[in-house]
Chains A and B, each alone.
Chain A
Amino acid sequence: AQSVAQPEDQVNVAEGNPLTVKCTYSVSGNPYLFWYVQYPNRGLQFLLKYITGDNLVKGSYGFEAEFNKSQTSFHLKKPSALVSDSALYFCAVYAGNNRKLIWGLGTSLAVNP
Chain B
Amino acid sequence: DAGVIQSPRHEVTEMGQEVTLRCKPISGHNSLFWYRQTMMRGLELLIYFNNNVPIDDSGMPEDRFSAKMPNASFSTLKIQPSEPRDSAVYFCASSWDRSPMNTEAFFGQGTRLTVV
Chain A interface (Cβ < 8 Å from any Cβ of B): 32, 34, 36, 41-46, 49, 51, 90, 94, 99-101, 103-106
Contacts and interface: CB of A to CB of B under 8 A. Distances in A.
Given A51-B101, A51-B102, A99-B55, A43 B43 contact: no
B71 to A, nearest CB: 22
Given A32-B102, A94-B100, A94-B101, A100 B110 contact: no
Nearest to B110: A43
Contacts of B101: 32, 51, 94, 99
Contact of B48 (A45, A49, A99): A99
21 contacts: A32-B102, A34-B104, A36-B107, A41-B110, A42-B109, A42-B110, A43-B4, A43-B91, A43-B107, A43-B108, A43-B110, A45-B107, A46-B106, A49-B102, A51-B101, A94-B101, A99-B55, A99-B100, A100-B45, A101-B45, A105-B42
Contact of B91 (A44, A51, A105, A106): A44
A52 B77 CA distance: 35
